[in-house]
Amino acid sequence: MSDFNRNELLAALVVVGLGAGYLIIAIGYPMGTVVRMGAGFFPVALGVLLIGLGAVLAWQSRRAEKTAVELRLRPFVMILGGILAWALLIDRIGFLPATAILVLSCALVERETTWRSALLLTAGLCAFGWLIFIVGLKIPMSALGG
């Protein structure tokens, strides 16, 4: 096992485990056909793809450079906080403000990110999300305010 980068191999095994989990959960669901997909079709397909991807990643971990893993707390806190804020606020303040908070908190994870680029990204993703989910898919949620 000394040929393998342990961190890369561990990540590959996690991906394989997720794929196997999808397969185990979906095993009892009806598959259907490609034209008429059953409840188990997508989870099984996703499971197979994840297992394949994990196998490729495990194979590539043989040649990967061994590097020290740097654990950074700021990205974890900012991204998790943004997701939690979005989930808690979307019903109260609406889709657009909640999404803006999420995108801004994630965009500002890196200290090098400028406010201008973060605001442009926020405006673009809010507009894109509004067009897809509220206008296109007609999901019944308020764009502004609950």
Confidence check: pLDDT of 42 > 90 = no
CA distance 103 to 105: 6
Confidence check: pLDDT of 121 > 90 = yes
Model pLDDT, residue 6: 79
Confidence check: pLDDT of 87 > 70 = yes
> Of 15, 71, 83, nearest to 46 (Cα)?
15
State mean pLDDT over 131-135: 91
Q: CA neighbours within 13 Å on the CB side: how many for 2?
A: 0
Give domain limits for the chain. 6-60, 73-136
CB 111 within 8 A of CB 138: no
CB atoms within 10 A of CB 62: 11
State mean pLDDT over 92-106: 93
Beta-carbon contacts of 117 under 8 Å, excluding residues fewer than 6 positions away, are: 107
CB 17 within 8 A of CB 51: no
Model pLDDT, residue 146: 62
pLDDT in tens, 44-64: 889 999 999 999 988 888 776
Confidence check: pLDDT of 69 > 70 = no
> Of 30, 103, 99, 107, nearest to 75 (Cα)?
107
> Of 43, 62, 53, nearest to 5 (Cα)?
62
State mean pLDDT over 21-39: 86
pLDDT confidence bin for 66, thresholds 50/70/90: low
Two structure tokens written together for 61? 């971990």
